[in-house]
Amino acid sequence: MVLIQHQQQQQEEEIVRRERGKKGMRVGKYELGRTLGEGNFGKVKFAKHTDSAKSFAIKILEKNRIQDLRITDQIKREIRTLKVLKHPNVVRLYEVLASKTKIYMVLEYVNGGELFDRIATKGKLSETLGRKLFQQLIDGVSYCHDKGVFHRDLKLENVLIDGGRNIKITDFGLSALPQHLRDDGLLHTTCGSPNYVAPEVLSNRGYNGATSDTWSCGVILYVILTGFLPFDDRNLAVLYQKIFKGDAPIPKWLSQGAKNLIKRILDPNPQTRITMAEIKEDEWFKQNYTPTNPDEEEVESDDTSSDDEVLTIHEAPLDIERNPESPSVINNAFQLIGMSSCLDLSGFFENEDVSERKIRFTSNLSPKELLDRIENLAVQMGFQVQKKPGKLKVLLENKGQKTQASLSIVVEVFEISTSLYVVELQKSSGDSAVYRQLCNKLSDELGVQQSEELLTNLIVKDGNHTS
């Protein structure tokens, strides 16, 4: 299979070489130029239309990488979503081309790069400029909501800025449409980026896509005006506690209007959080506000193929179509966090061998029940257990027998909210194989699944998505 894919790629490259003109490679009517960005499953290249000389950005996706990373549905979702959206503050998808091995998404070219890079290199923006960009962000996001599209991964990296200081929202790979709502009218897939995700998304009880997007917009506003994140910590448990409390430090030098709006958006209670419509009525927001009108006219395009045709990869059914008896598909890092999972999440932050890492998982069980179950299992396996408030020390002593290994583990429970806890297992010393055996038995005891292969794919995918 790999050989066939390699041969197909060689054949395609030969075709592209034959079409190469004086200025570079060509794909259809587009002449490719410099690389604008690169990820795990493709590149984004600058391109010029050979007839009109207009500039475009072409996202080139490797079909075999899409299949390997199991993100077929994510790519199809992005294509379907962008075909619906026509707004000055949303990156436009003009057409989709395909070959045997590649997909070419012809996108609007935004020459200013990510808003993240602008803040990282030059620091916070003035309130005047920050308000202007935030107004455009709200216009773009509320337009998406009106079209039934919830972004679910709004962050500075997914907001581009052009030469005229106008923003363009991009990367709809994790977006949700009305058909993704369950019978309760809520979304249930836990996704997003750590520092921008709303507390109700982490609670694993269902959430309103518009309300959670509003929270993420509030985080973006905070960073634009201050130059730093409202909720940040390297330790996941501490980060979640900060998000659930929603008590972001507000700098004194911000205007009172900006302070008030940030507090109303970063309200940890989704029921009382300010809505998009209410944001547009806010006095600070309305200063010099000119609403951006959608571009509803049809765009001429040579694209006649559907996203199913260009991908030609078997698509997993959506959540609402999947057999309820089949296992759930994990979409990104935060679905792991929302589940009771004994998967090792520290790989997102540390470069140690998997058997040496801390292992964290979430649970809705009470701290007492969690610690009791862990203690009972450890005793059954021959470990000694020392109890301390909110934690256990699990020991296995080497008694001189060749088959007896030593091990020392500290187990601690952190409260995230009144019904959500993080359990952390950290090996202090001893045999890694025995440590892994304990973790496997613990995952069985608590009814969760563990898969290092799935974790590896997930880390690759999440790293690409957030790059």
Q: What is the pLDDT of residues 294-343, one digit of tens each?
A: 875 544 444 444 555 544 433 323 233 333 333 233 333 333 333 333 33
Could you list the residues known to form a binding site, using ranges. Answer: 59
Evaluate if residue 371 carries a pLDDT over 90: no
> Does residue 373 carry a pLDDT above 90?
no
- The pLDDT assigned to 9 comes to 55
232 CB-near residues (< 8 Å, 6+ apart): 195, 239, 242
**Domain co-membership, 135 together with 273:** yes
Residue 315 resides in a domain: no
Examine residue 304 and state whether it is found in any structural domain, yes or no.
Answer: no
Which of the listed residues 55, 87, 109 is the one where a domain comes to its end? Answer: 109
The pTM of the whole model exceeds 0.85: no
The torsion angles phi and psi of 307, rounded to 5 degrees, stand at -65, -30
Contacts (Cβ under 8 Å, ≥6 apart) of 102: 12, 42, 60, 61, 62, 63
Q: Which of 80, 109, 138 is the last residue in one of the domains?
A: 109
SS3 call for 106: strand
Token pair belonging to 142 = 């509320």
- Please tell me whether residues 121 and 60 are part of one structural domain: no
CATH number at residue 52: 3.30.200.20
Quick one: 452 and 342 in the same domain? yes
Residue 327 lies in a domain: no
- Under 8 Å between Cβ of 215 and 169: no
Looking at the fold, whether 68 and 133 belong to one and the same domain comes out as no
What residues contact 213, with CB distance under 8 A and at least 6 apart? Answer: 141, 144, 145, 150, 151, 152, 154
The single residue of 51, 68, 73, 153 carrying the catalytic annotation is 153
Sequence ranges of the binding site for ATP: 59
432: pLDDT confidence band, cut at 50, 70 and 90? Answer: confident
Distance separating alpha carbons of residues 143 and 148, to the nearest angstrom: 9
Please check whether residue 92 is in contact with residue 107, taking contact to mean a CB–CB distance below 8 angstroms.
Answer: yes
Residue 431 is part of a domain; what is its CATH number? Answer: 3.30.310.80
Instruction: Tell me, yes or no, whether 418 lies in a domain.
Output: yes
Residues 228-286: pLDDT tens digits?
999 998 888 888 889 999 989 999 999 999 999 999 999 999 999 999 999 999 999 99
Q: Are residues 216 and 248 in the same domain?
A: yes
Same-domain status, 87 and 174: no
Q: Are residues 70 and 150 in the same domain?
A: no
Judge whether 360 and 237 are in contact, CB under 8 Å.
Answer: yes
Give strand pairing partners of 235: none
Which pair of structure tokens corresponds to residue 68? 């390997």
> Looking at the structure, do residues 80 and 204 belong to the same domain, yes or no?
no
Q: What is the pLDDT of residue 423?
A: 76
In the block, residue with structure tokens 């081309």: 97
Neighbours of 419 (CB within 10 A): 13
In a domain, 95, yes or no: yes
Whether 301 is covered by a domain: the verdict is no
Are residues 240 and 151 part of one domain?
yes
The 10s digit of each residue's pLDDT in 180-217 is 777 777 777 777 788 999 999 888 788 888 999 999 99
Output the six-digit token pair for 25: 């490679």
Note the pLDDT tens digit of each residue in 129-157.
999 999 999 999 999 999 999 998 999 99
Which SS3 state, helix, strand or coil, does residue 363 take?
A: strand
Domain match, 123 and 102 both? no
Would you call 153 a catalytic residue per the annotation?
Answer: yes
Number of domains making up the chain: 3
Residue 247 and residue 124 in one domain: yes
* pLDDT value at residue 6: 52
Identify the domain boundary among 71, 94, 109. 109
Residue 303 lies in a domain: no
The answer as to whether 80 is a domain residue is yes
Residue range(s) defining the domain that contains residue 100: 2-109
Sheet with 359-363, strands from edge to edge, namely 359-363, 420-430, 407-417, 391-396, 384-388
* Per-residue pLDDT, 102: 87
Q: Do 70 and 134 share a structural domain? A: no
